[in-house]
Amino acid sequence: MQHTTEPIACIFDLDGVLVDTAVYHYKAWKALANSLGFDFTELQNEQLKGVNRMRSLDMILQWGGVTQSASEKEALAAKKNEQYVGMISKMTVQEVLPGSLELLTALKAAGIKIALGSASKNSSLILERTELAHFFDAIVDGNSVTTSKPDPEVFLKAAELLKTAKENCVVFEDALAGVQAALAADMMVVGVGRAEHLPGAQVVINNLSEITINEIEALRYQ
Ligand code: B16
Ligand code: MG
């Protein structure tokens, strides 16, 4: 039977889905931790995926057993960001993750609306450096939300800007907090990464080369 439905819309997380900036976050946070006298591991960095900047700093300081005042924390976050921005300023289109360009191009050609739903406050610089900015009909990032994932605000705002009902939206996420945010927004969700890390996602893929538009559209009938 033919279902008559409105077109889907796609909302992409940035870090870990379209590009891999985790290594730059890691280097900048590690330098900061080392300057405070303790180490910061790659395993700890994994736990910061999808977590906003100030919450990440709080977690790192707690791991290091260090207490800082609010103004000191602001200064530390600014210092980390300065170093991080220095690194992402040199990013190129080569750092776009496999399948991203192909899927975004196919979605655009099919007239499917595309939004960004990221926790990062540096999304515009990253999209510009990696030449992805022109694909997006709407951008919602850490500068435009008041609450962080797993709160659904970032994705609900994206649907609103796309003028699309939340039921038509498919979210692509690599972080558990992001999957939870998409589910809280009543949206369909494709996990990017390992299934055991992303419970709740309708389907989990290793990267965007592993999904087609037909498979994305079929999610609403699952
Ligand atoms: P910034 P996403 C998130 O981006 C990253 O996964 C997370 O590691 C980072 O702490 C957060 O952005 C904030 O980034 O310091 O640039 O504002 O995965 O939601 O696109
Ligand atoms: Mg992410």
Q: Does residue 193 have its Cβ closer than 6 Å to ligand 1?
A: no
Q: What is the pLDDT at residue 2?
A: 45
Q: What is the pLDDT at residue 96?
A: 98
Q: What is the pLDDT at residue 158?
A: 98
Comparing 9-20+94-221 with 22-88, is the CATH topology the same? Answer: no
Q: Catalytic residue at 137?
A: no
User: What's the rounded Cα separation, in Å, for the pair 180 and 151?
Assistant: 8
Residues of the chain above pLDDT 70, percent: 98
Q: Catalytic residue at 20?
A: no
Mutate which of 27, 46, 52, 88 for ligand 1? The one with the most ligand atoms within 8 Å of its CB, which is: 52
Task: Determine if the pTM surpasses 0.85.
Answer: yes
Residue range 86-113: average pLDDT? 98
Question: Which ligand has the nearest atom to the CA of 124?
Answer: 1
* Residue 175 predicted with pLDDT over 50: yes
What ligand 1 atom has the least distance to the C-alpha of 149?
A: 19
Nearest to 16 by CA among 177, 180, 214: 177
Q: What is the pLDDT at residue 5?
A: 76
Could you report the per-residue pLDDT of 48-69, keeping only the tens digit for each? 988 999 999 999 999 999 999 9
CATH number of 9-20+94-221: 3.40.50.1000
Residue range 189-193: average pLDDT? 97
CATH topology of domain 22-88: DNA polymerase; domain 1 (1.10.150)
Question: Which ligand has the nearest atom to the CA of 120?
Answer: 1
Could you report the per-residue pLDDT of 102-137, keeping only the tens digit for each? 999 999 999 999 999 999 999 999 999 999 999 999
Each domain of the chain, given as residue ranges in start order, spans: 9-20+94-221, 22-88
* Residue 4 predicted with pLDDT over 90: no
